[in-house]
Amino acid sequence: MLYNNLHQLSPEVAFTYKLYLIESKEFNLAKKIAQKFETDFLVKFFGSNRKIRKFAKWLLKNGHRNAAVDLNRAVNVLGKSINSKKIIINLLKEYDIKAYKYFRLDLGIILFFSFYFLIILMWLYEKYKKVE
């Protein structure tokens, strides 16, 4: 599983990870090592901006390699002055990627809390309705 996750990002990184584990025999640290390889890869090609790295990881894991290559180019040209929201929205539009597919996790969280907020409001309404 760890190997497959890395392979989705980069077959070369996954192969290097496998070799490292075999040579070092640190199998008990496999998860930590995989996270290190992933972070190093994402920082190397997509910089230090967490939003950009998260988006790059999503692009690669969802088969949008061409968009990830363009993101890499934008990061190389713009450097630290990159506007992550603008770049993400532009790439989603340019590659006709439905925004809800990328933002669905955030939307899920919003819907989850909205649902519970609505329940609390309904409870308060019923409670104070009886008081009157």
Q: pLDDT (tens digit, 9 = 90+) per residue, 94-116?
A: 999 887 667 665 556 666 777 77
Cβ atoms of residues 58 and 91 within 8 Å: no
pLDDT for the residue 87:
93
Q: Tokens at residue 49, please?
A: 């901006």
Q: How confident is the model at residue 10 (pLDDT cuts 50, 70, 90)?
A: very high
Considering the domain architecture, whether residues 104 and 114 belong to the same structural domain is answered as yes
CA torsion 75-78-83-87 (nearest 10°) is: -50
Domain that holds residue 21: 1-46
Q: pLDDT (tens digit, 9 = 90+) per residue, 23-61?
A: 999 999 999 999 999 999 999 999 999 999 999 999 999
Q: Tokens at residue 85, please?
A: 């929201």
Considering the domain architecture, whether residues 42 and 81 belong to the same structural domain is answered as no
Considering the domain architecture, whether residues 62 and 79 belong to the same structural domain is answered as yes
Considering the domain architecture, whether residues 11 and 32 belong to the same structural domain is answered as yes
Considering the domain architecture, whether residues 42 and 78 belong to the same structural domain is answered as no
Check pLDDT > 80 for residue 86.
yes
Check pLDDT > 70 for residue 79.
yes
Considering the domain architecture, whether residues 104 and 88 belong to the same structural domain is answered as no
Check pLDDT > 70 for residue 92.
yes
Considering the domain architecture, whether residues 32 and 63 belong to the same structural domain is answered as no
pTM for the predicted model, two decimal places: 0.75
Our count of domains for the chain comes to 3
Contacts of 50 (CB under 8 A, 6+ apart): none
The residue-averaged pLDDT of 111-127 equals 79
Q: Tokens at residue 56, please?
A: 């790059």
Residue 33: CB atoms within 10 Å: 17
What mean pLDDT value characterizes the chain?
Answer: 89
Considering the domain architecture, whether residues 15 and 54 belong to the same structural domain is answered as no
Considering the domain architecture, whether residues 92 and 66 belong to the same structural domain is answered as yes
Considering the domain architecture, whether residues 53 and 24 belong to the same structural domain is answered as no
Cβ atoms of residues 46 and 39 within 8 Å: no
pLDDT cut 90: percent of the chain above it: 68
Alpha helices in 25-98 (DSSP H): 30-46, 50-61, 65-78, 84-94
Considering the domain architecture, whether residues 62 and 90 belong to the same structural domain is answered as yes
Q: What is the C-alpha separation between 77 and 62, in angstroms, rounded?
A: 24
Considering the domain architecture, whether residues 69 and 56 belong to the same structural domain is answered as yes
Q: What is the C-alpha separation between 120 and 34, in angstroms, rounded?
A: 42
